[in-house]
Amino acid sequence: MSSSLSSFLPMLPVLFLLVLSCMIYSGSAQGPPSPGYYPSSKISPISFNQGFKNLWGPQHQRIDQGSLTIWLDTSTGSGFKSLHSYKSGYFGAAIKLQPGYTAGVITSLYLSNNQDHPGNHDEIDIEFLGTTPDKPYVLQTNVYIRGSGDGNIIGREMRFHLWFDPTQDFHNYAVLWKPSELIFFVDDVPIRRYPRKSEATYPTRPMYVYGSIWDASSWATEGGKYKADYRYQPFVGRYKNFRLQGCTSESSASCHPPSTSSGFGSLSPQQFRAMQWVQTNYMVYNYCHDPRRDHNLIPEC
């Protein structure tokens, strides 16, 4: 064996790892297949004041050049609420998350009727679970039907990593709530579809749209393993390009929410392929596949 070959052989494992890492990076960097239809492009963005008002923590809320910033420190977090309640529609915003240590902190955009039905409310959640610097953010989607805050909540969580760094730029996150289905979107790519299978497993009562940043150290990051560390305060969430289009509580029965796709039905085949790509590559938890759950309580699974 030549001396040059013998000196090259010990390098093979390192070269293999380099090639493999490049393949993984390039595969993930290309992003999901095109969904072919972009609901956010059909709905004009509105300013914060056109659609929302402060709910709590007004001293931790600032509007600057069309962008809303809310933050959490040891004194309080902050939250906002839509001016109207809705019975269906498209609800979204462009959100930019804070880098670094954010464990225990929730940044959210969600629908709820908790104030109208305390102890028996419905909820549709888009929640970013804070993280440690060595791990990616988790995007949690969730649906409650007639749940409460007393331990009787039956969550329907699906969690995802993202194919981009959500701290580097604004990205669009949205939910489309129709009488027949819920669809969650990230940059117009559907990541989850929740169909209406029965009255008992689907939210039908009017809800307001909310956003907030708050301390959920007891559960947010790896089941509460990592807590909010206020040495890194303030924890900041940034929102812009709010999109609210739907049927309010006062709308007539003829009102219909925006379309899911270019057709008249649910997701197109192209949108389904994009959703399957996300769920295959980036879904990290599905409540229907959790053996620890009592599946008698989640019959839709």
In a domain, 115, yes or no: yes
Average pLDDT for residues 35-55, to the nearest whole number?
95
In a domain, 186, yes or no: yes
In a domain, 103, yes or no: yes
Look up residue 42 and give its amino acid: K
* Domains held by the chain: number: 1
Residues 121 and 137: their CA atoms lie apart, in Å, by: 27
- The strand pairing partners of 124, in sequence order, are 111, 143
Q: Give the model confidence (pLDDT) of 92-111 as tens digits.
A: 999 999 999 999 999 999 99
- For residue 134, pLDDT over 70 is answered with yes
In a domain, 51, yes or no: yes
pLDDT band at 153 (very low <50, low <70, confident <90, very high): confident
Are the C-beta atoms of residues 224 and 103 closer than 8 Å to each other?
Answer: no
Q: Give the model confidence (pLDDT) of 200-221 as tens digits.
A: 999 999 999 999 999 999 999 9
Residues 272 and 83: their CA atoms lie apart, in Å, by: 33
Q: Which residues of 255-278 are buried (b: 16+ CB within 10 A; e: fewer)?
A: eebbebbeeeebbbeebeebbebb
Are the C-beta atoms of residues 155 and 287 closer than 8 Å to each other?
Answer: yes
Residues 203 and 68: their CA atoms lie apart, in Å, by: 29
Q: What is the pLDDT of residue 30?
A: 75
DSSP string, the chain: --HHHHHHGGGHHHHHHHHHHHHHHHHHHT-SPP-S--GGGGS--B-HHHHEEEEE-GGGEEEETTEEEEEE-SS--EEEEESS-EEEEEEEEEEEE--S--TTEEEEEEEE-TTTSTTSEEEEEEEEEP--TTS--EEEEEEEEEE-SSS------EEE--SS-TTTS-EEEEEEE-SSEEEEEETTEEEEEEE---GGGS--S-BEEEEEEEE-TTTTTGGGTS---GGGPPEEEEEEEEEEEEEETTS-TT--PPPSSSSSSS--HHHHHHHHHHHHHHEEEEGGG-TTS-TTS-TT-
CATH number of the domain within which 235 lies: 2.60.120.200
Q: Give the model confidence (pLDDT) of 219-261 as tens digits.
A: 999 999 999 999 999 999 999 999 999 999 999 988 988 887 7
Are the C-beta atoms of residues 139 and 186 closer than 8 Å to each other?
Answer: yes
Q: Which residues are catalytic?
A: 123, 127
In a domain, 12, yes or no: no
In a domain, 224, yes or no: yes
Say which residue, 21 or 29, is predicted with more confidence: 29
Q: What is the pLDDT of residue 9?
A: 45
In a domain, 24, yes or no: no
Query: Containing domain of residue 223, as a range?
Result: 39-297
In a domain, 17, yes or no: no
